[in-house]
Amino acid sequence: MNRKKTALSVAAAGTATGVVGLVLIASPAGANEPPPALPGISAEALVESVLSKDHIPALSGAVEFQQNIGLPIPGLPASSAEGDAIAHVYANGDGAGRISIDQGQSERTVVHNNGTTWVWNSANRSVTKYANTDSDTEDKGTPEQLADPAGTAREVVGLMQRDSTLTVDGTARVAGRPVYQLVLTPKPTERTLLREIRVSVDSETRLPLRLDVLANGQADPAVRVGFTEFKPGPQDPALFTFTPPAGAKVTDGKDAKTHGFDEKNVESLLGGLDFKTVGEGWDTVLTGKFPAQLLSQGLPTGNGRGGETPGALIKQFAKEVTGPFGTGYAISTHVGTALITTDGRIAVGAVPQQVLVDALGQK
Amino acid sequence: MTAMTVGAEVGAPVRRAPLLRLFRSELRMILRRPRNIIGIGLLGLVPVVAGIGISIAASGSSSSDGDSVDGLAALVDGNGMLLPIFALVLALNMLLPLTGAMLAADALAGESAHGTLRGLLLAPVGRGRLLAVKAMGVATVVLLSIVLMAVTGLVTGLLLLGGDGMLSSSGTQLPFVDGLGRIGLTIVLLTVQIWALAAVALAVSAYTEHPLIVIVCSLGLLIVSGVLSAIPALDWLDPVLIISSWESIGEVVRDPLDWAPLGEGVLRAVCYMVIGISIAYGRMLSRDG
């Protein structure tokens, strides 16, 4: 009897230990910690401190991406499971960087250093080399802007405050680091599907660590891009060099043809779209024109055969609507709506469908 | 009474020898079973077959884009050091869990079925030590099979596919020694995961006298875990499923290595081992002769 008791308690204790361990692994670190106490800061000062960072410091991190916009978007990476990284980023603080993107079975690595960018794709073991690209300047802003971060910040904040409320909504932890939460909320008069945009700014490096886009009527962010791991500090210089491995196909970026689409075709198509914006602030709508026969034209596919027509493709996930604009297809997601009319007009915005209809009406 | 206690304490260091002897005899017994030898031998053939398949596929498609094989397999062509990792990750889905479950089923349930467990329970060997010997036997043979697969894979890979060092999936060329390190890491990670499953199987094994039930339960656990992890609404359950870190083992071919998911996988496996072994131990203690 006594032995039975021991046996039971051993089994129970062991199982309990194991289960507790599993649950501990499952719960993200710091989830139940109170938000860190940080000195208060005004929204304007926070924006200024973010803008005053003229370069990305040396860091390594893992990035997660989650989307729940209610529509599968081709080309967009599938959202990673909670807390799982889809990409790893490294920067040496001197303009060189490395990104490894996990694509399930294969991996893409982008190494940028000294004006040369290497793109490695493990699926077909190809290397594409781009010389003197300026792809890394996109988040640096123009030099004049950077010269006076305080002025720019005032300008940016002023611009934002026309249509939105900008607040610092307390603190939180992202990737285990204390962050300020900068929240951009549309003014009540704005006709938008979005509830707020939340940027988590690292309290120490003043880098944005996470971006959440929250839509109306959704508790979870519709889109979340952010670090799950973030470690500032010097990186191994070997990370920022890339030597094409033996047996890899190396192509020059200039000669490289994009898959499926001919670049020139796309360019002329974009040129013909005649984009313009209607409205301002959160209910900005982008309208454009495109040749109507495009809807019935076969899509060029990788193997040269004509695929489904875009029109048929759209019908699969769009709702047919009629209105003063004629007939068209509306594609609604949690964060935005797109309206494509059969006579070749298109309107896109982070707004409800009615706003798009109004925008199409304004000529 | 006192004399006995003293005697036992004096005898304590000597006790190790029998444990080792028991373990050796257990190992001998496992490795003498024809089905085990055949099973392990077949496992060793898996990388060879995979290597031949990949080299045929690669030579057949050399004229076209070479896209005929995709994923990790595409990288293995001309990159022989990756073959053992590829084959091991392939075998992790079914073959290795099956091996672990089979060994665990033989360990206790198999003995029960033959009526030999009764003799072992009556023998002057502590039940804890009996379980330890059984568990160590299973663990060792699992490790042995995985190492065998890695070795045949490495030899096949170097002979058939060649390659200088190891090409990581991040596009960097790792030197030979680093490549060996990655293979070693794969062996360790896989072994720990299979040990976790085998520990759960051992717990089932302690409760039943039908080895088949053990195998059915272990594979059922895998299949149910797979189904649960595929249901988006049950995403919150993912981190506690036994298979949830198995996929991340493929990340050993990355450069630089991301240790976080690998370490998490090991911790998860350890948790399952603690659960499995303690339930098995509880059952062994309470079992009547």
Sketch the domain layout of chain B as residue ranges. Answer: 15-286
CB contact under 8 A, B235 and A125: no
Measured between CB atoms, which of A25, A62, A81 is closest to B264?
A25
Phi (first) and psi of residue A41, to 5 degrees:
-150, 145
pLDDT at residue A268 in the model: 64
- Mean pLDDT, to the nearest integer, of B41-54? 92
Residue linked to tokens 């689409």: A261
Q: Are strands A326-332 and A319-323 parallel, antiparallel or unpaired?
A: antiparallel
Interface of A with B in 89-148 (CB under 8 A): 100, 105-107, 109, 118, 120, 122-125, 127
ipTM over 0.85: no
CB contact under 8 A, A125 and B75: yes
How far A68 CA lies from chain B's nearest CA (Å)? 12
pLDDT at residue B65 in the model: 47
Measured between CB atoms, which of A11, A23, A247 is closest to B279?
A11
Query: Using 50, 70 and 90 to split pLDDT, how confident is the model at B10?
Result: very low
Query: Using 50, 70 and 90 to split pLDDT, how confident is the model at A37?
Result: confident
- Mean pLDDT, to the nearest integer, of A113-125? 83
Q: pLDDT of A238-259, one tens digit each?
A: 888 888 877 777 887 665 444 4
Measured between CB atoms, which of B164, B258, B267 is closest to A88?
B258
Over chain B, what HEC string results? CHHHHHHHHHHHHHHHHHHHHHHHHHHHHHHHCHHHHHHHHHHHHHHHHHHHHHHHHHHHCCCCCCCCCCCHHHHHCCCHHHHHHHHHHHHHCCHHHHHHHHHHHHHHHHHHHHCHHHHHHHCCCCHHHHHHHHHHHHHHHHHHHHHHHHHHHHHHHHHHHCCCCEECCCCCEECHHHHHHHHHHHHHHHHHHHHHHHHHHHHHHHHCCCHHHHHHHHHHHHHHHHHHHHCHHHHHHHHHCCCCCCHHHHHHHCCCCCHHHHHHHHHHHHHHHHHHHHHHHHHHHHCCC
Is residue A11 predicted with pLDDT exceeding 50?
Answer: yes
DSSP state of A240: G
A85 touching B (Cβ < 8 Å):
yes
Contact list in B for residue A22 (CB cut-off 8 A) is 239-240, 268, 271-272
A28 touching B (Cβ < 8 Å):
no
- How far, in Å, CA of B3 to CA of A219, rounded? 71
Higher pLDDT, B78 or B224: B224
Cβ-based interface (< 8 Å): residues of B facing A = 65-67, 70-72, 74-75, 78, 164, 167, 169-173, 235-236, 238-240, 254, 256, 258, 260-261, 264, 267-268, 270-275, 277-279, 281-286
pLDDT at residue A16 in the model: 92
pLDDT at residue A273 in the model: 66
Is residue B37 predicted with pLDDT exceeding 90?
Answer: yes
Query: Using 50, 70 and 90 to split pLDDT, how confident is the model at A304?
Result: very low
CB contact under 8 A, A106 and B71: yes
pLDDT at residue B46 in the model: 93
The CATH class of the A263-361 domain is alpha beta
pLDDT at residue B148 in the model: 96
CB contact under 8 A, A125 and B65: no
* Angle formed at CA B287 by CA B281 and CA B289, multiple of 5 degrees: 125
Is residue A302 predicted with pLDDT exceeding 50?
Answer: no
Both tokens of A308, joined, read: 């489904």
Residues carrying CATH 3.30.310, chain A? 263-361
pLDDT at residue B7 in the model: 44
- How far, in Å, CA of B40 to CA of B48, rounded? 13
Higher pLDDT, A53 or B280: B280
Contact list in A for residue B285 (CB cut-off 8 A) is 3-4, 6-7, 10
pLDDT at residue A80 in the model: 52
- Mean pLDDT, to the nearest integer, of B122-129? 79
CB contact under 8 A, B271 and A18: yes
Higher pLDDT, B52 or A83: B52
Chain A residue with minimum CA distance to B251: A102
Is residue A113 predicted with pLDDT exceeding 90?
Answer: no
The per-residue pLDDT of chain A, averaged, comes to 76
The length of chain B, given as a count of residues: 289
Contact list in B for residue A236 (CB cut-off 8 A) is 256
pLDDT at residue B210 in the model: 93
- How far, in Å, CA of B55 to CA of B77, rounded? 6
pLDDT at residue B199 in the model: 96
Query: Using 50, 70 and 90 to split pLDDT, how confident is the model at A135?
Result: very low
Give SS3 for A68: coil
Query: Using 50, 70 and 90 to split pLDDT, how confident is the model at B245?
Result: confident
Is residue A307 predicted with pLDDT exceeding 90?
Answer: no
Query: Using 50, 70 and 90 to split pLDDT, how confident is the model at B191?
Result: very high
Higher pLDDT, B194 or A331: B194
Q: Tell which residue, B263, B269, B260, has the closest CA to residue B241.
A: B269
Is residue A153 predicted with pLDDT exceeding 80?
Answer: no
Name the most confidently modeled range: A34-43, A105-114, A167-176, B187-196: B187-196
- Mean pLDDT, to the nearest integer, of B168-185? 88
Query: Using 50, 70 and 90 to split pLDDT, how confident is the model at B39?
Result: very high
CB contact under 8 A, B282 and A22: no
Distance of CA A36 to the CA centre of its chain: 26
Residues carrying CATH 2.50.20.10, chain A? 43-240
The CATH superfamily of A43-240 is: Lipoprotein localisation LolA/LolB/LppX (2.50.20.10)
How far B246 CA lies from chain A's nearest CA (Å)? 13
Contact list in B for residue A14 (CB cut-off 8 A) is 274-275, 277-279, 281-282
CB contact under 8 A, A248 and B270: no
CB contact under 8 A, A14 and B275: yes
How many residue pairs bridge chain A and chain B with CB atoms within 8 Å of each other?
Answer: 128
pLDDT at residue A45 in the model: 83
Candidates B65, B169, B251: best to mutate against A (most CBs of A within 10 A) is B169
pLDDT at residue B147 in the model: 96
Is residue B103 predicted with pLDDT exceeding 50?
Answer: yes
- Mean pLDDT, to the nearest integer, of B191-203? 96
Give SS3 for A101: strand
Q: Nearest 10 degrees: CA dihedral of B236, B242, B247, B251?
A: 100
pLDDT at residue A258 in the model: 47
A241 touching B (Cβ < 8 Å):
no
Is residue A230 predicted with pLDDT exceeding 80?
Answer: yes
pLDDT at residue B8 in the model: 44
How far A237 CA lies from chain B's nearest CA (Å)? 12
Query: Using 50, 70 and 90 to split pLDDT, how confident is the model at B126?
Result: confident
Is residue A237 predicted with pLDDT exceeding 90?
Answer: no
Is residue B141 predicted with pLDDT exceeding 90?
Answer: yes
Q: Tell which residue, B269, B95, B51, B75, has the closest CA to residue B179.
A: B75
Is residue A167 predicted with pLDDT exceeding 90?
Answer: no
Contact list in B for residue A26 (CB cut-off 8 A) is 239-240
Quick one: what percent of chain A has pLDDT higher than 70? 76
Contact list in B for residue A8 (CB cut-off 8 A) is 282, 286
Measured between CB atoms, which of B75, B240, B279 is closest to A14?
B279
- Mean pLDDT, to the nearest integer, of B59-73? 56
Query: Using 50, 70 and 90 to split pLDDT, how confident is the model at B11?
Result: very low
Contact list in B for residue A122 (CB cut-off 8 A) is 74-75, 169-171
CB contact under 8 A, B256 and A236: yes
Q: Which residues contact B76 (CB under 8 A, 6 or more apart)?
A: B51, B54, B82, B83, B86, B157, B161
Measured between CB atoms, which of B169, B268, B278 is closest to A22?
B268
pLDDT at residue B15 in the model: 47
Q: With beta carbons less than 8 A apart as the criterion, state whether B211 and B285 touch.
A: no
pLDDT at residue A28 in the model: 66
Contact list in B for residue A15 (CB cut-off 8 A) is 275, 278-279
CB contact under 8 A, A14 and B67: no
Contact list in A for residue B179 (CB cut-off 8 A) is none
Contact list in B for residue A118 (CB cut-off 8 A) is 171
Contact list in B for residue A4 (CB cut-off 8 A) is 285-286
Higher pLDDT, A323 or A73: A323
pLDDT at residue A264 in the model: 58
CB contact under 8 A, B75 and A122: yes
- Mean pLDDT, to the nearest integer, of B149-169? 88
Task: Name the burial class of residue A47, with classes exposed (0-12), middle (13-18) and buried (19+) by CB atoms within 10 angstroms of its CB.
Answer: buried
Candidates B255, B274, B287, B288: best to mutate against A (most CBs of A within 10 A) is B274
pLDDT at residue B59 in the model: 72
Q: pLDDT of A73-110, one tens digit each?
A: 555 555 555 556 788 888 887 778 888 888 767 788 88
Which of A90-104, B11-25, B266-280 shows the lowest per-residue confidence on average (mean pLDDT)?
A: B11-25
Higher pLDDT, B250 or B43: B43
- How far, in Å, CA of B84 to CA of B166, rounded? 11
Is residue B196 predicted with pLDDT exceeding 80?
Answer: yes
